[in-house]
Structure 1
């Protein structure tokens, strides 16, 4: 392995394989942390190598020092589970080393939740015989070749390497993006790039969320690469991901429809199709794809086949999650709870599913019923950490009775953050507890953004302007909120309204509503009843299933001709779900008219529901005018 400043992960990596390898070769390219000290606890074979912006050179330096029969390449932010490393060693014990073979394993990459794939898998060559002429070439995304120029056969093995180096905080801490791009820039200045080079640059730019820059490179690789190349599928997948990042849903659909037809039965590809259809507003078709994705994943798991083409998360978890959210949006809470239950039976640590389950159950069930259900499903009362998590979730969602149930079971209030303690005091309408929590921590200075937001709310609810001055005034996230509360609590400014405060007014008003601070909410709503605030509040309330106040606000806006495009779209969907298609079509048409360039989903939803051939033809013409390239898609033509 080659390493640099890997103290965070190196021990985990070396521990995972320690008892199964004969020697460890660690080449350090300039660590300034404890990396080499950690390595010394496992091996004396530690060598220094000056970093020259060339991964292949560093890899080859490591190979020079290896004396074993077989080479296994690992990176410090990787590790192996015992079944895999033991299975690999047992397999190699029966193999004869030969320059004719290189062995491929699967690297499972863990991603942040902001990346919809969650987990991705990549085949990669990591095992080959030592002293047989194998070497690395290319300065980045280095590849294995024989120095003689001869070819070799790739043998796929059923073993996994786990990789956490794509987590965003890891990438940021190690400046991986900057380092990799500097190497790519050197390559571009020195040599003509081939299809593989363009693919690697495109994938790097995609990870950096530079979609517009990534796409040209990925397209060059797509047009000039060989479909039989091991990297080609990953290039297609990255193109798909870039299209989704850029909300180019028709391009994503066409890529699958025209160039990935042999993969469309894989659960993760079906799930992507479902994501595209949902994003275009075609919910029924989306649900069909997602149900098929879930069934196929279960079938593959039962047969011990690969669950996904690239992303197990999109194959297994995401179809269930999207089905739950889609049914929730349709107010079909029974089906929503069904799919959330399936999710939690598969993984009872899925916190996102916990939150959604509590949120949906809180709409119609008592705290006692919710707690009993969660205890049957998740055995919450038997696990202190689950009790703490449920207390935090209940507080965040504004379910005071459920929060009280779990608060009574906490070992100490200290397991809650200051913001959670303050929010619970607000929920309980307990001024004494709120003030006590605040004063106990005020001497340290309030620097946590979430706690400051609670102080802002508390100062408004209990008319305590002096609390505002306890907060750190330099917090950029909450500076506008602090100024808003300060102005609000000054008697001489009570009748004034500053439109620049509309976004923070919407946020604070909605929080007051969720905290059931009705009196304060009612006293403020008339002072901030601009069309912008009322539109945003109506949409927030609808998303949280507070339908009655949402509809009151929509009616007010409709009476004054002040509906914005988002409100019109929401009303269109509401009417469509109620079977009031004519009214829905009118709201979709209004939503389109209110935007200079309307999203294509609005046109698609209108055309999907419209039965009048003349009206549909006119709307398709407007679609073609605003989205000329998308209008040619088979998906659009089939509407």
Structure 2
């Protein structure tokens, strides 16, 4: 390369022919804007992925897989010569808006930051039309500080005995569809889950009260036969205030409340109460638990309590998007109910709760504020039912609302296919 690279982009892969070229093509604008090198490690591909990598990589090595993600990442770091390193997974692709990232790399001299976290957006479907989860992943590291990875699974940057400053790049997004197979229980997803859970169980044997390991097991092991036992033990360790319970308790209790609803666990109400009492200011509680608590109280016809949770949820979304809720919470886990589709579903359900409380005008106003482009077929059906209920059970004039809804759902946004489904 003519210039010493500002940025080394590290990618490990094995049998990623489905998505590897998409990932590498997405890096082209960044490579054109900033002096970069791409350093790749093949951990045993047999599907042609290596041929694809050879077309894009500046450095390509073989690194036999040894059940240790950190070891493979560090082998890549050893070959990097940039001032910074950006770690990207093969099933991710960089968003086209790279302005924040390039500005950071061009002007970082003299700043105290050693690490940088970017948004990873996890999709639940391959067509990316459903809901998604955002979290912050620390993927940038200053090479002058000698960064190393630690951890066989869910590896992390580590500087023993030293705190290093981290900055959040809130508008730099890595899109990720690697969990779709796990969400749909596909064969590739089952293999990935089995690999992850094996490594996590081994770590838990060494650290039986490690709340971070329990959080990762709750996130990775939904099909495990002892999954609910894992969940309950995680909650028990939070209740016993084990190390880092204040930091990891909110996402763990969020999962507990969500899964209690799905599995009809008797602890559901108790866990909602504990979450709200112990961590009232957490985004996981104000957004995710409030979303779940709304359904809990609605099922019991406790419309006042349901409406209060719905209002907390919508207010928290505003605060979150304005940066007034702690954004660093997403370094620990994704907030699950902040996607636009979830927000619109809550507005529709909350409007119906308002109707039951004889607050028909508030119901109408809330429905008028819907983002129709964010609706899918399912939420459109719920909207139609809410409109029908408002028309039949109140004296409110819904003619203007019905016209606005029709115009909104039939508009070709975000595309004609979605409008036709609605």
Equivalent residues in 2 for 1:423-438 (5 A)? none
Residue of structure 1 aligned with 2:65, choices 27, 44, 51: 51
1:250 aligns with 2:269: yes
CA distance in 2: counterparts of 1:361 and 1:195, whole angstroms: 45
**Richer in helix (by share):** 1
Which residue of structure 1 lines up, in the alignment, with residue 257 of structure 2? Answer: 240
1:153 aligns with 2:165: yes
Residue of structure 1 aligned with 2:244, choices 193, 203, 226: 226
- Equivalent pair of 1:4/1:35 in contact (CA under 8 Å): yes
1:197 aligns with 2:213: yes
Assess, with a 3 A threshold, how the Cα gap between structure 1 residues 215 and 333 changes in structure 2: closer, same or farther: same
Assess, with a 3 A threshold, how the Cα gap between structure 1 residues 43 and 288 changes in structure 2: closer, same or farther: same
Which residue of structure 2 lines up, in the alignment, with residue 274 of structure 1? Answer: 294
Which residue of structure 2 lines up, in the alignment, with residue 173 of structure 1? Answer: 188
CA distance in 1: counterparts of 2:207 and 2:418, whole angstroms: 56
- Equivalent pair of 1:98/1:129 in contact (CA under 8 Å): no
1:319 aligns with 2:346: yes
- Equivalent pair of 1:343/1:353 in contact (CA under 8 Å): no
Which residue of structure 2 lines up, in the alignment, with residue 12 of structure 1? Answer: 22
TM-score by length of 1: 0.51
CA distance in 1: counterparts of 2:69 and 2:51, whole angstroms: 22
TM-score by length of 2: 0.74
Which residue of structure 2 lines up, in the alignment, with residue 605 of structure 1? Answer: none
Deviations 1:492-526 (A, max 9, x none): xxxxxxxxxxxxxxxxxxxxxxxxxxxxxxxxxxx
Equivalent residues in 2 for 1:599-610 (5 A)? none
Aligned-residue CA RMSD in angstroms? 4.0
Residue of structure 1 aligned with 2:378, choices 348, 352, 368: 352
Which residue of structure 2 lines up, in the alignment, with residue 473 of structure 1? Answer: none
Which residue of structure 2 lines up, in the alignment, with residue 385 of structure 1? Answer: 417
Residue of structure 1 aligned with 2:280, choices 261, 269, 275: 261
- Equivalent pair of 2:290/2:309 in contact (CA under 8 Å): yes
- Equivalent pair of 1:266/1:307 in contact (CA under 8 Å): no
Residue of structure 2 aligned with 1:82, choices 96, 108, 117: 96
Q: 1:105 deviation in Å?
A: 3.0
Which residue of structure 1 lines up, in the alignment, with residue 5 of structure 2? Answer: none
Assess, with a 3 A threshold, how the Cα gap between structure 1 residues 136 and 158 changes in structure 2: closer, same or farther: same
1:293 is paired with a residue of what secondary structure?
helix
1:124 aligns with 2:121: no
1:291 is paired with a residue of what secondary structure?
helix
- Equivalent pair of 2:351/2:362 in contact (CA under 8 Å): yes
Assess, with a 3 A threshold, how the Cα gap between structure 1 residues 351 and 304 changes in structure 2: closer, same or farther: farther
- Equivalent pair of 2:91/2:177 in contact (CA under 8 Å): yes
CA distance in 1: counterparts of 2:357 and 2:40, whole angstroms: 56
Q: 1:375 deviation in Å?
A: 4.7
Assess, with a 3 A threshold, how the Cα gap between structure 1 residues 377 and 37 changes in structure 2: closer, same or farther: same
Assess, with a 3 A threshold, how the Cα gap between structure 1 residues 343 and 205 changes in structure 2: closer, same or farther: same
CA distance in 1: counterparts of 2:90 and 2:216, whole angstroms: 21
Deviations 1:12-60 (A, max 9, x none): 3223332214011221222232422333332242222111111111111
- Equivalent pair of 2:204/2:210 in contact (CA under 8 Å): no
CA distance in 1: counterparts of 2:223 and 2:131, whole angstroms: 13
CA distance in 2: counterparts of 1:139 and 1:48, whole angstroms: 18
Assess, with a 3 A threshold, how the Cα gap between structure 1 residues 188 and 295 changes in structure 2: closer, same or farther: closer
Query: Which range is displaced more, 120-129 or 257-266?
Result: 257-266
Equivalent residues in 2 for 1:490-569 (5 A)? none
Residue of structure 2 aligned with 1:376, choices 399, 404, 407: 407
Which residue of structure 1 lines up, in the alignment, with residue 54 of structure 2? Answer: 40
Which residue of structure 2 lines up, in the alignment, with residue 395 of structure 1? Answer: none
Assess, with a 3 A threshold, how the Cα gap between structure 1 residues 386 and 195 changes in structure 2: closer, same or farther: closer
Assess, with a 3 A threshold, how the Cα gap between structure 1 residues 213 and 12 changes in structure 2: closer, same or farther: farther
CA distance in 1: counterparts of 2:326 and 2:18, whole angstroms: 31
- Equivalent pair of 1:5/1:35 in contact (CA under 8 Å): yes
Assess, with a 3 A threshold, how the Cα gap between structure 1 residues 274 and 190 changes in structure 2: closer, same or farther: closer
Q: Compare CA radii of gyration and give the structure with the larger one.
A: 1
Deviations 1:465-518 (A, max 9, x none): xxxxxxxxxxxxxxxxxxxxxxxxxxxxxxxxxxxxxxxxxxxxxxxxxxxxxx
Deviations 1:59-94 (A, max 9, x none): 1111112111101111122233233x3312211222
Assess, with a 3 A threshold, how the Cα gap between structure 1 residues 359 and 201 changes in structure 2: closer, same or farther: closer
Deviations 1:182-228 (A, max 9, x none): 22233345666633323322332347696413224423652312256
CA distance in 1: counterparts of 2:208 and 2:319, whole angstroms: 46
CA distance in 1: counterparts of 2:28 and 2:401, whole angstroms: 47
Which residue of structure 1 lines up, in the alignment, with residue 397 of structure 2? Answer: none
1:224 is paired with a residue of what secondary structure?
coil
CA distance in 2: counterparts of 1:381 and 1:102, whole angstroms: 41
CA distance in 2: counterparts of 1:306 and 1:318, whole angstroms: 22
Stretches of structure 2 lacking an aligned partner (at least 5 in a row): 1-10, 330-334, 393-399
Q: 1:327 deviation in Å?
A: 6.4
Residue of structure 1 aligned with 2:177, choices 143, 157, 164: 164
Q: 1:261 deviation in Å?
A: 1.9
Q: 1:253 deviation in Å?
A: 1.6
1:141 aligns with 2:167: no
Stretches of structure 1 lacking an aligned partner (at least 5 in a row): 391-639
CA distance in 2: counterparts of 1:221 and 1:18, whole angstroms: 46
